[in-house]
Structure 1
């Protein structure tokens, strides 16, 4: 059975707490914490200790994870070397890549290639025990920063950060029309389109709450550049919400049939998170691609 080992040396300013509290602080799921404890797969300074043991600065904590700890321990993406991978940040556990607009995040069918995760799989193929694991996705037309795990044990930790909004993402979008306000919040539920499963609409089938915050950065002619932050993460949320306001994204042929721009003008500009197995903040910014309408300031 495949296994993964992770060793962490605690920093000099580490607060004294129990090993159990440390694992909770690191957002290791309760089920996995239980497996590690019951099977003595968590070591403190090389020896098994009860999770009630107090940790100290500079202690070494080691975990051994097994495939059975995870719902998806195998990534299974086909290898594809055809595209250059632009990596904005990388450590042994995950990376933040700069996704080009016009390629899908992940395959939708077995054997499919040509997606970002296929390219990451090709990049990682020579690194033993490393593979591409999806944490979140960007629409095919969206460019910019995206988090991709390289080992399965950080996926639930990063998912926990998404759920608790400790991962923050900001987007840039050019929209049709001039905004009447400097900023605003859109609160409209989003559900599936009744006749097209690929699309979403306000209300719709199985609608869920959706909240989008936007700020006007620039107006150019009859278009506006917005900075956007999501409070929820529904499929096509930014595109559906702005279209509902009467300001569809430029290049969005799904929600603005009259769009003439070559690409969807939506860019994942920054990603902020807490590094797994630490309390260190990380913010990564993705440069604007050449086919994004650049601001004049």
Structure 2
């Protein structure tokens, strides 16, 4: 059986340049046989059939002179999103495959300083929805400390007794087969906090390829549903795959 690198076959099949094909794979937008591929140089058969996932366009949820709230689609990196809105800068980040509310501000403004202080003091309300593996029947608080390491631009977090204080509150909303839809409220904002905490109780988020090696979904099933700070509250509608 003849094989070649995935990006070359993808480029040939979809009339793309090699650079475009590599970028799509690196962004997590390419499926092969129902599973996402993340290695552009993976050797695959010439007969391989790829599916390229569609990325929604971001749209504005709220705007005033100080704050711009965007409904972020999955698969758009936070810094790339900010570049789409001239004159605005990120206040915080979401993982590339996480959808939902993300906030932009005017860099260095009085509101920016107040918002940074609110995040630092854990005075920002952050509510998510996610679908996890297994059945969770009761609300639960998870407060195990988390530490994060960064290498070559990639961050990985883990449960660590010597790590930073981390608090996640989960409430089951519904059960779908052997999966549970959760309301998640985080009082701290550690890197990958929700993903690491849920994996630590053996209920990883569906589609989490980093902490659970789970390729059962086309994306990480995590959505930033609501955020409130300094008297402003913004909500992002739930995507169809997270509605019961």
TM-score strictly above 0.5: yes
Which residue of structure 2 lines up, in the alignment, with residue 105 of structure 1? 78
Instruction: Name the structure with the higher strand share.
Output: 2
Alignment partner for residue 236 of structure 2, among 255, 275, 286? 286
Does residue 119 of structure 2 align to residue 162 of structure 1? yes
Does residue 177 of structure 2 align to residue 221 of structure 1? yes
Does residue 223 of structure 2 align to residue 258 of structure 1? no
Contact 1:93 1:151 in 2 (8 A): no
TM-score normalised to the size of structure 2? 0.71
Which residue of structure 2 lines up, in the alignment, with residue 233 of structure 1? 189
- Secondary structure in structure 1 of the residue aligned to 2:155: coil
Q: Deviation of residue 150 (structure 1)? A: 2.7
Q: 1:164 to 1:194 in 2, by over 3 A?
A: closer
Contact 2:131 2:242 in 1 (8 A): no
Alignment partner for residue 192 of structure 1, among 141, 145, 148? 148
Structure whose alpha-carbon radius of gyration is higher = 1
Task: Give structure 1 regions of 4+ aligned residues with deviation exceeding 6 angstroms.
Answer: none
Contact 2:73 2:99 in 1 (8 A): yes
**Superposition CA RMSD, Å:** 2.2
Residues 215-264 of structure 1: CA distance to partner in whole angstroms, max 9, x if unpaired?
Answer: 11111110001101111100000000000100000011001113320000
Q: 1:166 to 1:191 in 2, by over 3 A?
A: closer
How far, CA to CA, are the matches of 2:151 and 2:96 in structure 1? 21
Structure 1, gaps ≥5 residues long = 1-82, 107-114, 122-130, 275-280
Q: Deviation of residue 198 (structure 1)? A: 2.2
Which residue of structure 2 lines up, in the alignment, with residue 10 of structure 1? none
Which residue of structure 2 lines up, in the alignment, with residue 92 of structure 1? 65
What are the equivalent positions in structure 2 for 1:18-33 lying under 5 Å apart?
none
Which residue of structure 1 lines up, in the alignment, with residue 84 of structure 2? 119
Q: Deviation of residue 195 (structure 1)? A: 7.9
How far, CA to CA, are the matches of 1:183 and 1:218 in structure 2? 12
How far, CA to CA, are the matches of 1:294 and 1:203 in structure 2? 31
Q: Deviation of residue 163 (structure 1)? A: 2.3
Q: How many residues align?
A: 188
TM-score normalised to the size of structure 1? 0.59
Q: Deviation of residue 201 (structure 1)? A: 1.0
How far, CA to CA, are the matches of 2:103 and 2:232 in structure 1? 12
- Secondary structure in structure 2 of the residue aligned to 1:169: strand
- Secondary structure in structure 2 of the residue aligned to 1:140: coil
Residues 43-82 of structure 1: CA distance to partner in whole angstroms, max 9, x if unpaired?
Answer: xxxxxxxxxxxxxxxxxxxxxxxxxxxxxxxxxxxxxxxx
